[in-house]
Structure 1
Amino acid sequence: MELWGGQLQIINIQGISKYPVQIIKKQYVKGKENEIVTISPRTLFVSAKGYTFLAADFSHIELRILAHLSCDPELLKLFQEPETTDVFTTLASQWRGIPSEQVKHADREQAKRVVYSVVYGAGKERLAGCLGITALQAGQFIESFLVKYKKIHDFTKKTIEQCHNEGYVVSIMGRKRHLPNINARDYRLRAQAERQAVNFVVQGSAADLSRFIAQIHDELLFEVEDSQIQEFSALVKRTMESLQQIKALEMPLKVPLKL
């Protein structure tokens, strides 16, 4: 966040590219060609002298929270058993009913996009655009996924019904989000509010797990004194993975947290 023109502005840190980008520096001298300049956007963020930025990234935090909240047996099994293969490969294997070794890259991507369309409330149109398929096909993908993971469907339905009745939803630590359009007559506004309801309960609960300088989805950002970077890194890993049993939650998560 920054103060600009007397108003507080939100900076989308996640939207800042991790990779170098090229810009064209125009030349206005006759005969001189434009210059291509390569910059790394995230190098513009500089820690205080003697300190280092440390980013710690939870492994599939929203998916783990979804498993906990929905109590879906297949999703719980995915995280409670030793993770011997890629999570989305296993997810695609469960969903498609095929051995993990037969899962193709396209199958994995479909499973990943579908599950996050459910978590983020992207809807079939957005999913169709991501996968390069029709909205009808995307809707069929989402429907078949929710048939397979019935408890996820039950969870989303219950969350939306609660929001219709109460006008708000609540995260795992009790934070509320009011959604005024949840009972709007306009279908588009109502559908958007329903997607936001599910999204907030999952992502809002993920954000409840700890406090720090900044959180970008499942990534936590700290500024750490250089002399303590190794010790602090180990501490962060232990702490973040131990949050499954944090007493403030009043109930342990049903799946382990992993970096």
Structure 2
Amino acid sequence: MTGSLVVVGTGPGNADLMTPATSAVLAKATDLVGYGPYLDRIPTIRADQCRHASDNRVELDRARQALSLAASGRQVVVVSGGDPGVFAMASAVFEAVEAGEPAWRELDIRVEPGVTAMLAAAAEVGAPLGGDFCAISLSDNLKAWTTVERRLKAAAEADFVIALYNPASKARPHQLGRAFDLLRSIKAAETPVLFVRAAGTVDSKIVTTTLAGADGTTADMRTLVIVGASTTRQVGRWIYTPRSEPGVRS
């Protein structure tokens, strides 16, 4: 039997936001590999399906386990939240392939797209990503904080809307505040800032403020922070960024 490995994202948490393609892949799997809370989102599909849950921050170990199972002939699905290619397990799988067994390069490996937190958060408030935007993770577990600051500075100077992933954790309680301080030195004080916690779920909570009033202590790892561009504006209860630059004809 020829094995396979598919990396999927379950979306931001609401079962309705899991794609039909992902649901079909999950139904065919012999083994599900993933971070425990993400596996818990998936109802039992078949009694013979094996689940291999692991802790957070062991992505490469998880990827190697999944690749070994696939190499043995199993139909393996690696489960991420959101989209598997955005700060998630797809990159870890290919990193493991690059450094691992030569035979892993011949495996049938696919990635199914999902709804990432950035898109779910934007949909909660309107269309803040309607113009040019970028995504930056504030975690410095796998890169230096100086790299994070350099990228924040470049994005702010280029006037991108900035979606901030991994804004804070128990081990990193001060980094979002430091990021806001850097952004305040470049962007206008009235720049809209959105805190969207548990985006795309029934527990979602939205806080709309400005860069001047943004409090870095109010976010956690379930929060997606969006910092607007100079053109981002509020219309009623909605926030949006126009597609066109002022003074440029559409």
Same fold? TM cut 0.5? no
Higher relative contact order (CA 8 A, sep 6+): 1
More helix by share: 1
Q: Give the TM-score normalised by the residue count of structure 2.
A: 0.29
Higher strand share: 2
TM normalised by structure 1 equals: 0.29
